[in-house]
């Protein structure tokens, strides 16, 4: 994982810890007002709802991918490409992202495996704004690292022969790792 990826994960962990602290404080205040049993039940209900929403998103994505593969399309994964990486590799960034060199956001899209190459294609809205696809040929080495958290996320680090390393965040990293391993064989 590159420095950008480590910073992104550190920001995500910090936000998660702050949200957990806020939720704990809110539950404690609610417990003082209504009693501990209703406050604990409300907290457990909220956590169950969040878990179910993330599970539903991951399930829908996996189901859509199974349908795509059954229709004969190449394997693909939801992927986020950092705006800095898109600019580094020559892809035009949309809207306000095009004006800043130190942009921290990500572009949404799909990573697919076609003819032994990884191809990232932006979502439809970004394609309409002029963002083009990026292709990583076999000369790029890939490393997939699963990340802790909901919705089965992972970081794909691609390194070019000249040493340039880029991170993409993908869903279902185990499936991506399996596809890349099968490609190398």
77-87: pLDDT as tens digits:
888 888 877 77
The confidence band for 45, taking pLDDT boundaries of 50, 70 and 90, is very high
Q: What is the pLDDT of residue 151?
A: 64
The whole-angstrom separation of Cα 89 and Cα 140 is 13
The whole-angstrom separation of Cα 78 and Cα 31 is 40
The confidence band for 6, taking pLDDT boundaries of 50, 70 and 90, is confident
Number of residues that this document lists for the chain: 185
Residue 152: pLDDT over 90: no
Residue 19: pLDDT over 80: yes
- Residue-wise pLDDT for 93-147, tens only, equals 666 555 555 566 788 889 998 888 889 898 888 888 778 888 888 888 888 888 8
The confidence band for 88, taking pLDDT boundaries of 50, 70 and 90, is confident
What is the chain's mean pLDDT, rounded?
Answer: 84
Average pLDDT estimate for 6-24: 89
Q: What is the pLDDT of residue 18?
A: 94
Average pLDDT estimate for 86-93: 71
Task: Pick the range with the lowest mean pLDDT from 15-19, 87-91, 117-121.
Answer: 87-91
Q: What is the pLDDT of residue 104?
A: 64
Instruction: Report the b/e string of 57-93 with b at 16+ CB within 10 A.
Output: ebeebeeebeeeeeeeeebbbbbbbbbbbbbeeebeb
What percentage of the chain exceeds 90 in pLDDT?
A: 10
Angle between helices 36-70 and 3-34 (to 10 degrees): 140
């Amino acid at each position: 994982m590159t420095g950008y990826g480590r910073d992104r994960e550190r920001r995500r962990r910090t936000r998660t810890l702050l949200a957990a602290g806020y939720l704990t404080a809110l539950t404690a205040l609610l417990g003082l007002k209504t009693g501990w049993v209703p406050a604990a039940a409300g907290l457990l209900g909220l956590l169950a709802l969040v878990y179910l929403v993330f599970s539903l998103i991951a399930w829908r994505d996996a189901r859509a991918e199974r349908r795509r593969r059954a229709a004969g399309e190449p394997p693909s994964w939801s992927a986020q490409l950092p705006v800095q990486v898109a600019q580094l590799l020559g892809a035009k960034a949309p809207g306000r992202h095009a004006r800043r060199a130190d942009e921290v956001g990500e572009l949404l899209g799909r990573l697919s495996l076609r003819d032994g190459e990884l191809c990232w294609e932006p979502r439809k809205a970004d394609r309409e704004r002029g963002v083009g696809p990026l292709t990583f040929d076999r000369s790029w080495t890939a490393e997939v690292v699963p990340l802790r958290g909901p919705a089965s996320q992972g970081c794909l680090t691609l390194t070019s022969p000249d040493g340039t390393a880029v991170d993409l965040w993908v869903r279902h990293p185990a499936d991506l790792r399996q596809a890349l391993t099968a490609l190398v064989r």
